[in-house]
Chain A
Amino acid sequence: MDVLDSQLPALAIHGLVKDVGPLPSLDGRMLRVVSDISLKAHAGQVTALLGANGAGKTTTIECAQGLQKRSGGTISLLGHDPARAGADLRARVGVMLQDGGLPPSARPLPLLRHIAGMYRNPWPVDDLVSRLGINDFSQGTVRRLSGGQKQRLALAAALLGRPEVLFLDEPSAGLDPQSRQLVFDFIVELRDQGMAIVLTTHLMDDAQRLADYVYIIDAGRNVAEGTVAELLQRDLRRDSTQQHIRTLFVEGPEKLDMGAVLSGDLHVVESRPGSYSITGSLTPADLAALTAWWAEKDIMPTSLRLEARSLEDVFLDISAKEAS
């Protein structure tokens, strides 16, 4: 792959439209589940589609995988139209479906060996199995696996063809904390090796931890995009009344009247007795005033934590604006 090639996106979706139906519940009319979604995913990057359930994320990536026929727009997957994908294009693309798509009566190892046979040069099953910790549960049937075990097996199945593009639909669904760490570390490793990874999630934390570039999807259209840092910054700048929004969490004695020493535009809430959040354009002067007041009153907080806005705040803001 030369330099020019590597600049072409592995996946490019432009103006995607998807109608489903006709639906009896709509008097036989079609329902537009995706009205205008565009995105690009590059090799060596994790691209996240972030949105609430029903926003159109799964529909979008299923159109990109060739599982659903699009109603409009263009999709280029490794330079080909996925709607007319042949076996050789499918061999270069790995898919982990939201529901796993593994037969409940199958045993993990024979199933992986079977799927590996579909590729001329598969990833060695033994290596994948040890990396994803599948050995621990390879004896039972798929039916008896926990949610996290099923997800790890589904990820292994998606990787058997050493794909150039990997689709992960809600990869952290059902994962216990250990599985989650293992799977996330593996995803980062695959990205660093040059894989283009496209994932959908409704969890801000997933996007914040994994994504190099995020598309926020709502009601079947793009509403925002950027790196996680850009999204956090951009929205701060856009709304001048919310400059440098931060939240200071304080644990300490009950019923402190901290609002009295802070500037008026800060929002102080005692959510539980002794547990406060101070939100707004916190300045160093605010912090100095606060600590000086504690020193004067001999108050020692048990916990202090300062947080910038999270992606979740951005997402909630955008969703609220869309709704209004």
Chain B
Amino acid sequence: MSALTIKPGAASSLPRRILLQGKYEATTMITNGEQLILAIVLPLLALIGLTVTPILDDMGASRINIAVPGVLALCAMSTAFTGQGIATGFDRRYGVLRFLSTTPLGRTGLIAGKILAVLAVLVLQVVVVAAVAFPLGWRPDGGAWPSAVVLLILGAAAFTALGLLVAGTVRPEATLAITNLMWILLGALGGIVIPSERLPLALESFVQFLPSGALGGALRDAFLTGTFNGAYALTLLLWTILAGAAAIRWFKWN
């Protein structure tokens, strides 16, 4: 039996392992109904809601031009924080994280694969949202895309770190509750789709320091005026570092 001949089974290269894991996790996410609702359906509903109601009127730009950057920020929060958090929480419960960390993939490859999957799904979300927004009259600033890409990656990194922190420290049922509740709270009041100027005065200055407010604000600055808001970018970077360090410190693999 040639198949039974035992040879040292060398590992595939690290980039290939990460790429495979990213592809597998991205496929799992977009073939899961609940994840699709969270990643695509709810952001599109938010987009439509914001364009048919007067919430964003009198802000110096059209409803759709103000709404789309916030919806893209919401997409990043859906996928990186809530989606990836819940998936990781249950993978941890079922021992999937432990098993995969005994294969050549390892813990580092597993986390890199998750980040890659988040970015791949985010690209898909941007394409879908843009495809819906352009016919509705979205006219982004021509020079916004390079800044927007950097900001979306920073935002995805911050939300992934936060999602993994929650998933790695509490039970999966609690992860489910926390990440869904945070999605609703931050989505409504976190400065993500509704600009902080439109929130109650007590919240206005506060939300700019949240990852939601920073990502929403930074993407609106980029798409509306073509500017790169360094303060918001720094806020996102700080959240990534803090949540990432906390996740490394407290993440429990079993």
Please report A residues at the B interface, Cβ cutoff 8 Å: 65-67, 87-88, 90-93, 95, 97, 99-106, 114-115, 117-124, 127-128, 154, 157, 161-164, 189-190, 193-195
Q: Is the interface of A mostly helix, strand, loop or mixed?
A: loop
B 100-135 to A, binary, CB cutoff 8 A, 1 in contact else 0? 111111100100000000000000000000000000
Given contacts A87-B104, A105-B32, A119 and B11 within 8 Å (CB-CB): yes
Interface size on B, as a range, is: 35 or more
Cβ A95 vs Cβ B4 within 8 A: no
Min CB distance B12 to A, Å, is 5
Min CB distance A180 to B, Å, is 21
Task: Kindly list chain A residues whose C-beta atoms are within 8 Å of the C-beta of B5.
Answer: 162, 193
Min CB distance A153 to B, Å, is 11
Cβ A103 vs Cβ B91 within 8 A: yes
Task: Kindly list chain B residues whose C-beta atoms are within 8 Å of the C-beta of A123.
Answer: 3
Task: Kindly list chain A residues whose C-beta atoms are within 8 Å of the C-beta of B99.
Answer: 95, 97, 100-102, 154, 157
Cβ A162 vs Cβ B96 within 8 A: no
Given contacts A99-B94, A124-B3, A88 and B12 within 8 Å (CB-CB): no
Given contacts A66-B102, A87-B104, A117-B20, A163 and B96 within 8 Å (CB-CB): no
Nearest residue (CB) in A for B19 is A117
Cβ B106 vs Cβ A87 within 8 A: yes
Kindly state whether residue B6 has any CB partner on chain A within 8 Å. Answer: yes
C-alpha gap A194/B4 in the complex (Å)? 10
C-alpha gap A91/B6 in the complex (Å)? 12
Cβ B11 vs Cβ A87 within 8 A: yes
Task: Kindly list chain B residues whose C-beta atoms are within 8 Å of the C-beta of A97.
Answer: 95, 98-99, 102
C-alpha gap A117/B105 in the complex (Å)? 10
C-alpha gap A207/B16 in the complex (Å)? 39
Which of A99, A117, A118 has a CB less than 8 Å from the CB of B95? A99
Task: Kindly list chain B residues whose C-beta atoms are within 8 Å of the C-beta of A120.
Answer: 9-12
Kindly state whether residue B60 has any CB partner on chain A within 8 Å. Answer: no
Nearest residue (CB) in A for B99 is A101
- B 233-248 contacts with A by CB, 8 A: none
Kindly state whether residue B209 has any CB partner on chain A within 8 Å. Answer: no
C-alpha gap A90/B3 in the complex (Å)? 20
Which of A106, A115, A128, A194 has a CB less than 8 Å from the CB of B103? A115
Task: Kindly list chain B residues whose C-beta atoms are within 8 Å of the C-beta of A119.
Answer: 9-12, 104
Task: Kindly list chain B residues whose C-beta atoms are within 8 Å of the C-beta of A195.
Answer: 6
Which of B3, B8, B90, B105 has a CB less than 8 Å from the CB of A92? B8
Task: Kindly list chain B residues whose C-beta atoms are within 8 Å of the C-beta of A99.
Answer: 94-95
Nearest residue (CB) in A for B95 is A101
C-alpha gap A90/B8 in the complex (Å)? 10
A-B contact pairs, 5 of them (CB 8 A): A87-B14, A90-B104, A118-B105, A162-B5, A194-B6
Task: Kindly list chain B residues whose C-beta atoms are within 8 Å of the C-beta of A92.
Answer: 8-9
Cβ B16 vs Cβ A117 within 8 A: yes
Task: Kindly list chain B residues whose C-beta atoms are within 8 Å of the C-beta of A100.
Answer: 94-95, 99
20 extra interface residue pairs, beta carbon distance < 8 Å, beyond A117-B17, A122-B9: A67-B101, A87-B17, A88-B11, A88-B104, A90-B11, A90-B103, A91-B8, A95-B99, A101-B98, A101-B99, A102-B94, A106-B28, A114-B20, A114-B24, A118-B12, A119-B12, A120-B9, A164-B8, A193-B4, A194-B6
C-alpha gap A92/B10 in the complex (Å)? 7
Kindly state whether residue B7 has any CB partner on chain A within 8 Å. Answer: yes
C-alpha gap A103/B20 in the complex (Å)? 16
Task: Kindly list chain B residues whose C-beta atoms are within 8 Å of the C-beta of A95.
Answer: 99, 102-103
Kindly state whether residue B251 has any CB partner on chain A within 8 Å. Answer: no
Kindly state whether residue B253 has any CB partner on chain A within 8 Å. Answer: yes
Cβ B94 vs Cβ A193 within 8 A: no
Cβ B8 vs Cβ A118 within 8 A: no
Nearest residue (CB) in B for A100 is B95
Min CB distance A112 to B, Å, is 12
Cβ B10 vs Cβ A121 within 8 A: yes
C-alpha gap A15/B105 in the complex (Å)? 30
C-alpha gap A231/B222 in the complex (Å)? 75
Task: Kindly list chain A residues whose C-beta atoms are within 8 Å of the C-beta of B96.
Answer: 101-103
Nearest residue (CB) in A for B24 is A114
C-alpha gap A157/B10 in the complex (Å)? 16
Ordered nearest first, which 9 A-B pairs have the shortest CB separation? A101-B99, A101-B95, A161-B9, A87-B11, A91-B11, A95-B102, A87-B104, A99-B95, A118-B104
C-alpha gap A95/B97 in the complex (Å)? 13
C-alpha gap A123/B7 in the complex (Å)? 10
Min CB distance A126 to B, Å, is 10
Cβ B94 vs Cβ A161 within 8 A: no
Task: Kindly list chain A residues whose C-beta atoms are within 8 Å of the C-beta of B10.
Answer: 88, 91, 119-121
Cβ B3 vs Cβ A101 within 8 A: no
Task: Kindly list chain A residues whose C-beta atoms are within 8 Å of the C-beta of B105.
Answer: 87, 118
